[in-house]
Chain A
């Protein structure tokens, strides 16, 4: 897993609440047996007009956001299905961090498993960011995970809180399974105690 320390990149605005994982990656893209190549299906129905052409009004279709690394959205981002295809699709498009007032639990977990940051900021700060992006489309943000700080080049910045363990895991890019397997003796002891084996 790629370590997450500092991320500098264009922030794309998606002014919607309750963005569900069915929207992030519709079902027809779930019939895959690999993790890669899902960017094509990202927001598939929102990115296209009824006749199938790209909708120029959708932010990720606009040249300013073609290389966005950060997505900005409203509350309860990633609700719905547990499909990890949602973070995979965002990552495949180039998005490594999502900023929103709140996230659905499973989505936030899935982000962490893929070296991606789901960053909750208070609604007022998210609103301020939407206004900043509206004034300066294509603006960049710098997310400094070790310092727990996000800032732009025009003097705006915000500190954020985060569970220290989650922060450390992202910074080190640790493989969970390898870590857990080091506790195999504990797991065997648990099984022995509970199964009487």
Chain B
């Protein structure tokens, strides 16, 4: 019987399974960071347990680290609690023999940026991390999902997890993406249609011509936000582009081992006719640049649209949710999206802080100036992204336009470091969550693509990027 990518990875990783019980699933790669791991290590110590496979465990510092352009070395972490958490991670990694990419290392960065970048993320692997956006790694054809701290402890101790087999959901995007429409718009459009709980209990596989045509980094943007639709994971079948992406990466196989691995990776792709438990089809040609107007990623509209009128919504629960959201966001029903003025712009996060994202934003910014009423910051996703961007001179383009060019980290995606919105401030953000207070208590977040964020910084309000054709990413070519 034809099998899906998910079927193949799942079946390869079942260590044990009793009837009516979840499967004991082997975990190939465990990524950890400072915020969700201290209690797990504490649990190991309290029970005298060791880390079963330190060689399959990698740690980075990302959530708490300052991104001050003067450098993010340890002395810059002035917040005592954050410093304690970073020191705890360093001490735990030393004690248990785990490789740590700390702020002094050239590999440091957001956990979901460095996994693929270092070649740790590979097709067919099971990957977990105490972070919901672990779904990002599915872009390479891995089964990757977020777990809580108790499960982090469980994986550290056993290299396995008990998992009930999720259902599979195919989201097929047919046709070609129009010019100026990005991967971020695909995923926001999808979440707008299926809702924030639309994929709960499912692993999504993104398929279709528009998905196959995405670059690897764009695939990561799509898979990253799978969790915002409630999915357990999101994945894309590996193809030649996946193989080329991994060639020569630090932790990828080399030489003849690479060729063997590549053949194995390509054989993982979902077979024609393989059955998913559910399927939805979208037309790429219909997708427009998206802007969220509310307090979850499903509350989204095309840039040419308007803030909805809650009174016009059919169901009472949606009406109430929209009313609460508009009150929080300080928006009137019927407001044109393009007329919404901004105070801040944040280009960063594990969704949109890779080199291509920064290049896309820089194409818009080049030769222009940020609006004087907007404070705009660019936070590369990793040290490697930052170095590559500087090599291309992107830092100068941003700085010349009045944008701040900062050190890598999660930064204002969740504001655990000093990068936060003040109450009432309105921000165009390339991150993934517009929840109340996510970027700072009382802060108002609108999720957009990097090019839309860059254009908003210059205009001072949202603009339809398709009207700046010299700067927009070209339409997808037929492949």
Q: Is B106 an interface residue (CB 8 A)?
A: no
Interface residue count for A (Cβ, 8 Å)?
50
Partner of B36, one of A27, A84, A104, A113: A84
* Known contacts A20-B296, A31-B64, A35-B39, A109 near B147 by CB under 8 Å: yes
The CA of A45 and the CA of B415, in the complex, are separated in Å by 15
Chain A 51-69 against B: per-residue CB contact (8 Å), 1 yes, 0 no? Answer: 0000000000000000000
Chain A 156-195 against B: per-residue CB contact (8 Å), 1 yes, 0 no? Answer: 0000000111000000000011001101101100110010
Chain A 66-99 against B: per-residue CB contact (8 Å), 1 yes, 0 no? Answer: 0000000011100111111001000000000000
Partner of B148, one of A16, A84, A190, A191: A84
Closest to B298 in A: A18
How many A-B pairs have beta carbons closer than 8 Å: the answer is 161
Q: Is A23 an interface residue (CB 8 A)?
A: yes
Q: Is B159 an interface residue (CB 8 A)?
A: yes
Nearest CB of B to A154, in Å:
25
Would you call B324 and A34 a contact (CB within 8 A)? no
Which B residues lie within 8 Å of A106 (CB)? 132, 146-148
Chain A 113-135 against B: per-residue CB contact (8 Å), 1 yes, 0 no? Answer: 11000000000000000000000
Q: Is B245 an interface residue (CB 8 A)?
A: no
Main secondary structure of the interface of B (DSSP, over half): loop
* Known contacts A104-B230, A105-B200, A105-B230, A183 near B436 by CB under 8 Å: no
Which A residues lie within 8 Å of B8 (CB)? none
Would you call A102 and B200 a contact (CB within 8 A)? yes
Which B residues lie within 8 Å of A81 (CB)? 131-132, 414, 433
Which A residues lie within 8 Å of B320 (CB)? 15, 17
The CA of A187 and the CA of B82, in the complex, are separated in Å by 36
Would you call A20 and B435 a contact (CB within 8 A)? yes
Partner of A26, one of B15, B22, B82, B437: B437
Q: Is A147 an interface residue (CB 8 A)?
A: no
The CA of A35 and the CA of B63, in the complex, are separated in Å by 18
Which A residues lie within 8 Å of B47 (CB)? 177
Would you call A180 and B162 a contact (CB within 8 A)? yes
Would you call A82 and B150 a contact (CB within 8 A)? no
Closest to B416 in A: A27
Which A residues lie within 8 Å of B436 (CB)? 22-23, 45
Interface residues of A (CB under 8 A from B): 15-18, 20, 22-23, 26-28, 30-35, 45, 50, 74-76, 79-84, 87, 102, 104-106, 109-110, 113-114, 163-165, 176-177, 180-181, 183-184, 186-187, 190-191, 194
Given contacts A20-B296, A79-B296, A177-B154, 16 further A-B contacts (CB under 8 A): A17-B320, A18-B197, A22-B433, A22-B435, A31-B64, A33-B42, A34-B38, A34-B39, A74-B317, A79-B196, A79-B197, A82-B132, A104-B197, A177-B158, A180-B154, A191-B26
Interface residues of B (CB under 8 A from A): 12, 15-16, 20-22, 24, 26, 35-36, 38-39, 42, 47, 49, 52, 63-64, 79, 81-82, 84-85, 88, 130-132, 146-151, 153-154, 157-160, 162, 164, 166, 196-197, 200-201, 227, 230, 232, 296, 317, 320-321, 324, 414-416, 423, 433, 435-438, 441
